[in-house]
Amino acid sequence: MRDDTRRWTEADKRHCWHPFTPQAAWTAGEPLVIVRGEGAWLWDSEGRKYLDGNSSIWTNIHGHRHPALDEAVRRQLGDVAHTSYLGFANPRASELAEKLCAFFPAGTLERVFFSDDGSTAIESAMKMAIQFRQLTGEAGRDGFIAFDQAYHGDTLGAASLGGVSRFHDRFRKHGAEVTFVAGMDALKDLPGEVAAKAAAVVIEPLIQGVNEMRPWPAGMLRELRQWCDATGVQLILDEVMTGFGRTGRMFACHHEDVIPDYLCLAKGLTGGYLPMAAMLTTGRIYDAFLGDDSRAFYYGHSYTANPLGCAVALASLGVFETEQTLERLQPMIARMAERLARLKAGHPRVHEIRQCGFVAGIEIRQADGTPFPAAEHFGARVCTAARDHGLLTRPIRDTIVLMPPLCTGPDELDHAVSALDHALATT
């Protein structure tokens, strides 16, 4: 181990606290220290090279050190790194809001509320939905409907929408009032008084991420929009993971031509460069907040509409156009399906492949189809073994996530699947 690696890991173990990480196990191990990236690749402090198989926790879009994105940050630094958005505007935020709204038909999603991350995008949508009801004479509609095994973030309001017990149960009583349903049939069977009391329903469109990458049935999102229209329940779409090309379209809701009341974006918004979020909503909702001070939306963050984040987000949207990212992605989506089908055919422990666009979950079970005992952490062991073959990714329980940057080429995708192949064979 190099001296600098040892120094960094020792300082980490003494002082750092990692998210979603049992710290006792972490401090007993030898963590990788990532020091450099380029394209779809990352290097650790020991000089080893890995494909970024989960896009640095689902954020990176066009690859690391993309020249256009790097230049956008440098150019903005030449002007100013940050200015307040409370009482002031800035050019990049104005341009970015205009670009985001242009992805949707005129007169639909036409207002953008910026914040810091996916959790705060959801939080702002929840608060806005509640206040909208108060301002329009429906103060009793303050509940929410969410789906079993959903994940929408970890701030207290967003966490209350989460259906994953190990993440959210200990905080359940401190959040919003939420009714959970398994799917559309259960939603339609809810007592009328539940829908009548609900401000909004929240969903990850097309595919649930933390629920081991489980896609929704085709047409479900359109059916949900129709149910909302019939009941007066507003629709919040959590596209924190699915936005910006992951599903093969710019946004997942484009697949079924659905316009939500609130659209929450983060992760890939800046191409994976800087923390930033945006929540889009309609002119009708915005207009309800107009008037005297008592109607204002008193919610925000110090780094709202940070100029650096807005600049690199604009550059990322530009790369989608100049590099024809979505067009180039289509054959890669097909290649991923073909390569993962071959992986499943070659390994009896690959129980199921779940894919939506350029996002895949590879569920591992015992050869007889039963799950591995949780204490074995089999998925984590496979991912650790994959490092020896040049792939970094993380499991969700025993489902291995494969979600590389959209810039990943055919040979790089083959490398990722081959690494999983070797890891499965040796674990």
Give CA torsion, residues 4, 16, 374, 414, to 10 deg: -50
Domain boundary among 267, 287, 322: 322
User: What's residue 165's pLDDT?
Assistant: 75
Q: 384 with 359, same domain?
A: yes
User: What's residue 254's pLDDT?
Assistant: 98
User: What's residue 103's pLDDT?
Assistant: 98
Contact 398, 365 (CB under 8 A): yes
Domain boundary among 306, 322, 338: 322
Contact 177, 142 (CB under 8 A): yes
Contact 194, 179 (CB under 8 A): yes
Residues in a beta bridge with 356: 359
User: What's residue 168's pLDDT?
Assistant: 75
Domain boundary among 322, 342, 371: 322
Question: For the chain, what is the domain count?
Answer: 2
What's the token pair of residue 38? 């380029």
Residue among 139, 126, 254, 217 nearest 178 (CA): 126
Q: 177 with 299, same domain?
A: yes
**What burial class does residue 193 get, using C-beta atoms within 10 Å of its C-beta: 0-12 exposed, 13-18 middle, 19+ buried?**
exposed
Phi–psi pair at 400, nearest 5 degrees: -90, 130
Q: 281 with 158, same domain?
A: yes
Residue among 330, 335, 168 nearest 249 (CA): 330
Per residue of the chain (427 residues), give pLDDT as tens: 899 999 999 999 999 999 999 999 999 999 999 999 999 999 999 999 999 999 999 999 999 999 999 999 999 999 999 999 999 999 999 999 999 999 999 999 999 999 999 999 999 999 999 999 999 999 999 999 999 999 999 999 999 999 887 777 888 778 889 999 999 999 999 999 999 999 999 999 999 999 999 999 999 999 999 999 999 999 999 999 999 999 999 999 999 999 999 999 999 999 999 999 999 999 999 999 999 999 999 999 999 999 999 999 999 999 999 999 999 999 999 999 999 999 999 999 999 999 999 999 999 999 999 999 999 999 999 999 999 999 999 999 999 999 999 999 999 999 999 999 999 999 9
Q: 356 with 370, same domain?
A: yes
CATH number at residue 355: 3.90.1150.10
Q: 302 with 340, same domain?
A: no
Q: 334 with 318, same domain?
A: no
Residue 19 lies inside a defined structural domain of this protein: no
Q: 58 with 77, same domain?
A: no
Q: 134 with 270, same domain?
A: yes
Quickly list DSSP for 165-209: HHHHGGGGGGS--EEEESSHHHHHTS-HHHHHHEEEEEE-SSEES
CATH number at residue 272: 3.40.640.10
Q: 232 with 150, same domain?
A: yes
Residue 13 lies inside a defined structural domain of this protein: no
Range of the domain at 52: 32-62+324-426
User: What's residue 69's pLDDT?
Assistant: 98
